[in-house]
Amino acid sequence: MRHEHPTWKPDVLGDGFRSLTLDLGVDDEGPVVATLVTYLPPVPPVPTAGQVDAVLYLHGWSDYFFQADLARFWAGQGVAFYALDLRKYGRSLRPGQSEGYVTDLAEYDADIEAALKAMEADVRARYDADMRTTLMAHSTGGLVAALWADRFPDRLQALILNSPWLELSGSSMLRFATSGLLEPVARRRPKARLKIPEFGFYFRSISSAMDGEWDVDPLWRPPFSFPVRAGWIRAVLAGHARVARGLDIRVPVLLLASAASTISPTWNPQMLRTDSVLDVNLMVQRGVLLGPEITVYRFDGALHDTLLSALPVRTRVYEGIRRWSGAFMLPR
């Protein structure tokens, strides 16, 4: 029986972008896939000592990869760029699936492994070189990436976390209480939807249809969150507990965050220049528990995704990444 190899196809981001569907098998909701996106720059990376540096980017909750400027930035640094829409998100979401749903964050090991395998093959075909990998991730993707890097210490060159969700907003005591209340429901009805207030303020701050400047797909990045299900939030809280006990990530880690948070049940114009999703002080407290070599950059005026902030702010963020990567990720 002849097996057809998957092929790269033009991506929704347009010129220079291609995507590849990665088969991850079948679960109780049907076929499961992830989608790898890459950027083909006008000037391709030049291998050094038979190697090409590559970045793999993971998105956050209720999200997908649309940050074309990020791809172009890394290309300008001579880095091969890839991004992954995880199972049941964005390009990988299929009809009838529970959006973003997993019961263990380690399920994403298969997504990341499939992406790395496809990246290695692509780098070999395009540049005739081996690959050194940096993982970059945002928000919930940052939690996934940190836990993965702790479990697979020899797979990465560096780790970059953009406002990672490392603890439940409030405190660890709130997480303990929430876990205890949630456990019976998550065990009996893991797909039960939890009634959690939704305000849509972060979407308002980024979408060009409202007060932001970014063209986002409202189906893939909805104004309000995907349904929060008991089994999923239990998996996230378990990840938070693991971080609180301390990880041992043995590569350089860069943590990017806003200088301040504005978390409120009512709209506040400060949400256009602060993190309106997570407590950034708590984030940094947890960030220093990730490993022995942690760099923290905080930016006045930054949003939850620091790279979606107003142009003067994100320019500073990109410059910070450039300086750090030159010192820790791209030594020549």
Radius of gyration, alpha carbons of the chain: 19
CA distance 252 to 166: 17
Report the first-to-last Cα separation within the chain, whole angstroms. Answer: 47
Please write the tens of the pLDDT for every residue from 152-170. 989 999 999 999 999 987 6
Q: In whole angstroms, how far apart are CA 60 and each of 48, 85, 304, 327, 331?
A: 32, 10, 11, 27, 29
**pLDDT of res. 133:** 97
pLDDT at 41 over 90: yes
Q: What is the mean pLDDT of the chain?
A: 93
**pLDDT of res. 27:** 96
pLDDT at 5 over 70: no
DSSP 69-120: HHHHHHHHTT-EEEEEE-TTSGGG--TT--TT--S-GGGHHHHHHHHHHHHH
CB 330 within 8 Å of CB 79: yes
Please write the tens of the pLDDT for every residue from 60-79. 999 999 999 999 999 999 99
Share of the chain above pLDDT 90, in %: 86
Q: In whole angstroms, how far apart are CA 173 and each of 100, 169, 229, 237?
A: 26, 10, 21, 12
pLDDT at 173 over 60: no
pLDDT at 1 over 60: no
Please write the tens of the pLDDT for every residue from 195-205. 877 789 999 99
Please write the tens of the pLDDT for every residue from 209-246. 999 999 999 999 999 999 999 899 999 999 999 999 99
Is the sign of the CA dihedral 140, 145, 147, 148 positive or negative? Answer: positive
Q: Look up residue 82 and give its amino acid.
A: Y
**pLDDT of res. 175:** 46
Mean pLDDT of 266-279: 96
Among 58-72, 134-148, 165-179, 182-196, the minimum mean pLDDT is found in 165-179
**pLDDT of res. 332:** 58
**pLDDT of res. 177:** 46
**pLDDT of res. 198:** 79
CB 224 within 8 Å of CB 277: no
pLDDT at 185 over 70: no
Among 32-36, 127-131, 173-177, 257-261, the minimum mean pLDDT is found in 173-177
Share of the chain above pLDDT 70, in %: 92
What pTM value is reported for the model?
A: 0.94
**pLDDT of res. 187:** 75
Mean pLDDT of 250-261: 98
Mean pLDDT of 298-327: 98
**pLDDT of res. 4:** 44
Residues 6+ apart with CB under 8 A from 193: 227, 228, 229
Mean pLDDT of 307-316: 98
CA distance 87 to 35: 8
